[in-house]
């Protein structure tokens, strides 16, 4: 999906209120250094990750404005999940593998159910029926099903054919890890191919919003409306020049925010186990729901805000696209990171995790297949997320 500079600037100017939360980052570090209450450290670190992730996204998009929409898209898909990757690598290094797996599933269902659902609700309150690019959504849904197959194969083999026994436990574990490593590189290859497909060979499928395409095909676009649109774009572009960050500022903020995420992630993970015991939450619930939401909070706010402005294609691109990127980009990176830090990370998930991500992808496909939506479909998606979250709460 291509990015419009006016869309980017509108999103950046409206959501910068999150920046003040960055004060929680040094506060979390101070609390950690002074060995304060672990629960307080966990809360401050979780809040601090929201503006830091936002800064990564905004500095990336401002930087992309200097190079055009194609580079904007590439930078977005590269840095869009930086916070999740960093949190995952830190948790893997600490040996919290189940937490990382749960956060992967939580990120996927959080994007395609909760955020997609809230976007449809917010947009549907202004328009009875909304239209979006069904080719893009169908493409994301297909890749998501592909990723689910990749996640399911090691799990199914671990439960059935390669089920560990006393005699061959080590051998089977090695086979599962080898399969996970191979599938990680396959998924990463698909991700690279998807970038080429989206931004090079078939970018025409994602460049024009579906409503405009239908108007063009039916000959219903009026010239006076076209002049008004172009005039509005020119005005927005002129206004955006005053808001544009310099390249130097973008690079400094991007580097500082990435370093900040690394430091705060260390603090968050270090206080994780004590927090679980204090609240009595299960590891999977914290990973899937709390970490899953915190790691994507900045993107979530952007998607909902764009939907409120009637830009549903961009909103869906963030919601469904981020869920797909987690499955075919973040997962392989974490598997490779496990190899690098000598903490083998396999793709063996629980039956519940696989079931909920499959059902989430299924309902996404059912609701988005026709290229139009309304607020009630958003209610259904959000309700499914709540049902799944309740289930995670009772998983121990």
pLDDT at 184: 93
Closest by CA to 327, choosing from 138, 81, 74, 118, is 81
Q: Report the alpha-carbon distance of residue 344 to residue 336 in Å, rounded.
A: 9
pLDDT tens digits along 78-110: 676 788 888 899 999 988 899 999 999 999 999
The residue segments making up the domain with residue 219 are 5-393
Query: How many structural domains compose the chain?
Result: 1
- Cβ atoms 287, 98 nearer than 8 A: yes
How far the first Cα of the chain sits from its last, in Å, is 39
Q: 278 or 113, which is more confident?
A: 113
Q: Report the alpha-carbon distance of residue 241 to residue 297 in Å, rounded.
A: 27
pLDDT tens digits along 368-386: 777 788 889 889 999 999 9
Closest by CA to 96, choosing from 283, 267, 275, 279, is 283
Predicted structure pTM score:
0.80
pLDDT tens digits along 161-216: 766 554 456 567 788 889 999 999 999 999 889 888 877 787 776 664 444 444 44
Least confident of 2-6, 84-88, 364-368: 2-6
């Amino acid at each position: 999906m291509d990015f419009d500079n006016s869309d980017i600037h509108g999103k950046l100017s409206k959501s910068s209120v999150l920046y003040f939360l960055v004060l929680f980052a040094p506060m979390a570090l101070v609390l950690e250094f002074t060995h304060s209450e672990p629960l307080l450290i966990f809360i401050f670190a979780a809040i601090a990750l929201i503006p830091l992730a936002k800064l990564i996204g905004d500095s990336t998009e401002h930087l992309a404005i200097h190079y055009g929409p194609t580079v904007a898209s590439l930078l977005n898909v590269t840095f869009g999940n930086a916070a999740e990757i960093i949190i995952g690598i830190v948790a893997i290094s600490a040996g919290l593998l189940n937490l990382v797996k749960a956060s992967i599933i939580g990120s996927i269902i959080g994007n395609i159910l909760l955020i997609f659902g809230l976007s449809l609700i917010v947009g549907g309150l202004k328009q009875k029926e909304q239209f979006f690019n069904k080719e893009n959504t169908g493409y994301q849904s297909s890749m998501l099903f592909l990723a689910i197959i990749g996640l399911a194969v090691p799990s199914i083999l671990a439960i059935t054919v390669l089920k560990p026994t006393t005699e061959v436990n080590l051998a089977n574990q090695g086979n599962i890890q080898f399969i996970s490593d191979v599938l990680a590189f396959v998924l990463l290859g698909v991700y690279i191919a998807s970038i080429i497909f989206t931004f090079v060979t078939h970018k025409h499928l994602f460049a024009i919003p579906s409503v405009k395409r239908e108007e063009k095909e039916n000959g219903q676009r009026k010239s006076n409306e076209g002049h008004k649109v172009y005039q509005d774009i020119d005005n927005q572009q002129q206004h955006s020049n005053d808001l544009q960050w310099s390249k130097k500022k973008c690079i400094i903020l991007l580097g500082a925010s990435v370093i900040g995420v690394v430091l705060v992630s260390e603090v968050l993970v270090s206080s994780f186990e004590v927090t679980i015991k204090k609240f009595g939450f299960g590891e999977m619930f914290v990973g899937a729901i709390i970490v899953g939401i915190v790691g994507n909070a900045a993107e979530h706010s952007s998607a909902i805000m764009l939907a409120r402005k009637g830009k549903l294609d961009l909103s869906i691109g963030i919601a469904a696209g981020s869920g797909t990127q987690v499955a075919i980009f973040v997962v392989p990176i974490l598997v490779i990171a496990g190899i690098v830090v000598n903490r083998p990370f396999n793709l063996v998930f629980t039956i519940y995790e696989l079931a909920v991500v499959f059902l989430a992808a299924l309902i996404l496909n059912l609701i988005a297949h026709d290229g139009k939506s309304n607020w009630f479909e958003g209610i259904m998606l959000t309700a499914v997320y709540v049902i799944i979250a309740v289930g995670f709460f009772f998983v121990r």
